[in-house]
Amino acid sequence: MCGIVGYTGGRRASEIVYRGLEELEYRGYDSAGIASLENGNIYTVKRRGRVKSLDGLISDLDGNTAVGHTRWATHGKPSDKNAHPHVCGKFALVHNGIIENCEELKKMYFSGVEFDSETDSEVIVRLIDLFYDGDILSALKNTASLLKGSYAVALICADFDGLAVMKRNNPAIIGYGDGENFVASDAPALSRCKTITILKDGDIALVTKDGVNIFDENLQGVIRERIKNLAEPSSLELGDCPHYMLKEIREVPATVVNTCSAYLSAEQKIKEVLSGVNRIIITGCGTAYNAGLLGKRYVELIAGIPAEAEIAGEFRYKRPIVDSKTLVLAVSQSGETADTVEAAKLARSLGGKVIAVTNSPYSELVRLSDATAPVAAGPEICVAATKSYVGQVAALYLFANTLAGEPIEKCIGELEAVSPLCKKTIEHIEISSLADMCARSNGVYFLGRDTDYAVATEGSLKLKEISYIAGDGYPAGELKHGTLALIDIKTVSVFIITRKELAEKNVNAVEQVLSRRGKAAVVTNIESVCEKLRKRAEIIRIPECPENLSPLISVTVLQMLAYNTALLLERDPDKPRNLAKSVTVE
């Protein structure tokens, strides 16, 4: 959610920052901008729209030090003037986060002053300029002490040949080069740097081409670990895929296998954390929460331990009951999602244990957790989560088996056997007719029972977010308790039916839809279901596999459905309107 990049060194900074912004664009794409320092002068270009809207403008920026920003609007609509960097006096600043007391600060320090933008970020650069008397560090310290909310800030100053950085509750990572240094919102954007430092909350850093000095909030010099950057480059290569979404769905089979190997190295630590635990809460947002719904069922079905799944934004405000025997699994692709990170912090502060289930080894979530169940999906560029969801489900399946005391090699074998079935499904799926039905519909409902219901929630979210077609994911048994009123000839109901003992009940629900003239489709691996509904519902046949693992396959069908429907409606599946990856604000 908003990407910040900074460079200082011997090369043309604007080009390097531009490339960094391209790599971070999934964090927001409402507007973009770069400010460059040249002979003590600051030059800024910024535009509403995507990073490429800066093409042709950056050729005028010659300096060797620059900051850049790609925005997901919070305060103030997407526009040229609301785009970052914001400039005041000798400073140009980029910001990721939200300043909650911005109006208060404006009243207190800038009464009668007309701001250039409607953003909360501008108040930061104005405060820094106000407090600046030749000492950048003090100006930053004084500003930071007034800010409420979250920020990762990078700035350039006409008097200083380098970058200044400060952060609280949003990520800022320093990358080290040879005679040059970098700052960025996440590690994959720094993949050309062999080593990195992850700044801590309250840190203020001065970065020059020759070195990095880090201070705490009282301006005491601190040493922060310089670690090897293991992040894979966020490859912008699409290969033969027209979109990242398709590329990433095709990476699902590898994600399953890689998550298994990563889990193997993490299992011992996870076992240690499990000691004394008698209650499991799984939390996350959006797709990660939907994976948590499956995780809950895995814990119950496999380990026989009651588990709860809670939306992180609800969990953190409901005064949750957590004690030292409670384990919270915090699921997050980015490891940065504000609600999930805060939920995990809260659980720890109440004495609970936390395991992060995440794709981001350097994230805040990993740092605050007792252990990590790694998701080895690699960087995910498409805003809609696909391979990371499947990786999360695989990690939760492995976790449930560890909890149950099952030999992990056996479960890994099961998952590895499912991986080629996912591949087969993705490669051979015939989804165009159902996508066409959905694209023409007034609403699409996804229905299933038990684990199939969990998959239905994700199918619905995927379709909504990239095609903008309204709908819902529902337990099939609930249909007759309300949703049936919505069914008519213009709606499509997609049933997921993979649990044999529940197949009959689900077929009844399909019949209820058909008798209201609704259109129905069924994603199933059960022959009797196909026979009963042949010619009356659109049937998508998927390969058979152990029942608990069918979600890994059925969800790829729903991901492909969402992708193909979005294409029919001429939506951009990689960058859906109004959204961004990594929701670092509340």
The residue (of 162 and 573) whose beta carbon lies closer to ligand F6R is: 573
The reply on whether position 550 binds ligand F6R by CB under 6 A is no
Binds ligand F6R (CB under 6 A): choice among 70, 197, 234, 332 = 332
- 31, β-bridge pairs: 48, 71
Q: Is residue 54 within 8 Å of 39, Cβ to Cβ?
A: no
The residue (of 284 and 448) whose beta carbon lies closer to ligand F6R is: 284
Cα 103 to Cα 466: distance, rounded to the nearest angstrom? 34
C-alpha torsion 453→457→458→460, nearest 10 = 120
Q: Within 10 A of 468 (CB to CB), how many other CB atoms are there?
A: 14
Binding segment toward ligand F6R, per CB under 6 A, in 137-145, 261-269, 284-292, 529-537: 284-292
For tokens 């066409």, what's the residue?
Answer: 436
Residue from 2, 88, 285, 422 carrying the catalytic annotation: 2
Distance of closest approach, residue 574 Cβ to ligand F6R, in angstroms: 11
The reply on whether position 285 binds ligand F6R by CB under 6 A is yes
The residue (of 123 and 384) whose beta carbon lies closer to ligand F6R is: 384
Distance of closest approach, residue 288 Cβ to ligand F6R, in angstroms: 4
Distance of closest approach, residue 290 Cβ to ligand F6R, in angstroms: 8
Distance of closest approach, residue 95 Cβ to ligand F6R, in angstroms: 20
Binds ligand F6R (CB under 6 A): choice among 185, 287, 419, 451 = 287
Binding segment toward ligand F6R, per CB under 6 A, in 332-340, 396-404, 475-483, 566-574: 332-340
Size of the site for ligand F6R (CB under 6 A): 16
The reply on whether position 255 binds ligand F6R by CB under 6 A is no
Cα 232 to Cα 389: distance, rounded to the nearest angstrom? 18
The reply on whether position 252 binds ligand F6R by CB under 6 A is no
Cα 154 to Cα 376: distance, rounded to the nearest angstrom? 30
Structure tokens at 127: 């405060």
Known active-site residue 46? no
Cα 556 to Cα 570: distance, rounded to the nearest angstrom? 21
Structure tokens at 429: 């799926």
The reply on whether position 364 binds ligand F6R by CB under 6 A is no
Task: Count Cα neighbours of 319 within 13 Å in the Cβ-side half-sphere.
Answer: 0
Structure tokens at 153: 């800030």
Cα 317 to Cα 585: distance, rounded to the nearest angstrom? 15
Known active-site residue 345? no
The reply on whether position 497 binds ligand F6R by CB under 6 A is no
Structure tokens at 438: 């959905």
Binds ligand F6R (CB under 6 A): choice among 288, 346, 398, 431 = 288
- Which residue number has the CB closest to ligand F6R? 286
Binds ligand F6R (CB under 6 A): choice among 184, 266, 311, 384 = 384
Task: Starting at the earlier edge strand, list the strands of the sheet with 519-524.
Answer: 471-475, 443-448, 491-497, 519-524, 538-541
Residue from 106, 296, 464, 581 carrying the catalytic annotation: 581
Cα 105 to Cα 579: distance, rounded to the nearest angstrom? 28
For tokens 């909650």, what's the residue?
Answer: 100
Distance of closest approach, residue 51 Cβ to ligand F6R, in angstroms: 20
Distance of closest approach, residue 87 Cβ to ligand F6R, in angstroms: 31
Helices 102-109 and 122-131, interaxial angle, to 10°?
Answer: 40
Query: Which 184-213 positions form the footprint of ligand F6R (CB under 6 A)?
Result: none
The residue (of 174 and 357) whose beta carbon lies closer to ligand F6R is: 357
Binds ligand F6R (CB under 6 A): choice among 169, 229, 340, 493 = 340
The residue (of 37 and 311) whose beta carbon lies closer to ligand F6R is: 311
The reply on whether position 286 binds ligand F6R by CB under 6 A is yes
Three-state DSSP class for residue 48: strand
Q: Which phi and psi angles does 450 have, rounded to 5°?
A: 55, -125
Binding segment toward ligand F6R, per CB under 6 A, in 23-31, 327-335, 511-519, 524-532: 327-335
Q: Is residue 116 within 8 Å of 86, Cβ to Cβ?
A: yes
For tokens 């997407």, what's the residue?
Answer: 78
Query: Which 453-482 positions form the footprint of ligand F6R (CB under 6 A)?
Result: 461, 465
Binds ligand F6R (CB under 6 A): choice among 333, 451, 498, 506 = 333
Binding segment toward ligand F6R, per CB under 6 A, in 83-91, 194-202, 326-334, 425-433: 326-334
The reply on whether position 2 binds ligand F6R by CB under 6 A is no
Q: Is residue 464 within 8 Å of 470, Cβ to Cβ?
A: yes
Cα 163 to Cα 183: distance, rounded to the nearest angstrom? 8
Binds ligand F6R (CB under 6 A): choice among 14, 234, 259, 334 = 334
Rg (CA), the chain: 25
The reply on whether position 311 binds ligand F6R by CB under 6 A is no
**Distances 197 to 194, 200, 205, 207, 229 between C-alpha atoms, Å:** 11, 9, 11, 12, 9
The reply on whether position 169 binds ligand F6R by CB under 6 A is no
The residue (of 333 and 556) whose beta carbon lies closer to ligand F6R is: 333
Binding mask 36-65 for ligand F6R (x = CB under 6 A): ------------------------------
End-to-end alpha carbon distance in the chain: 11
Distance of closest approach, residue 238 Cβ to ligand F6R, in angstroms: 19
Cα 210 to Cα 531: distance, rounded to the nearest angstrom? 71
The reply on whether position 96 binds ligand F6R by CB under 6 A is no
**E strand or H helix that includes residue 538:** strand 538-541
Binding segment toward ligand F6R, per CB under 6 A, in 37-45, 189-197, 279-287, 438-446: 279-287
Greatest Cα pair distance, the chain, in angstroms, is 79
Q: Mind telling me the catalytic residues? A: 2, 581
Residues that bind ligand F6R (CB under 6 A): 284-288, 332-334, 337, 340, 384-385, 461, 465, 582-583
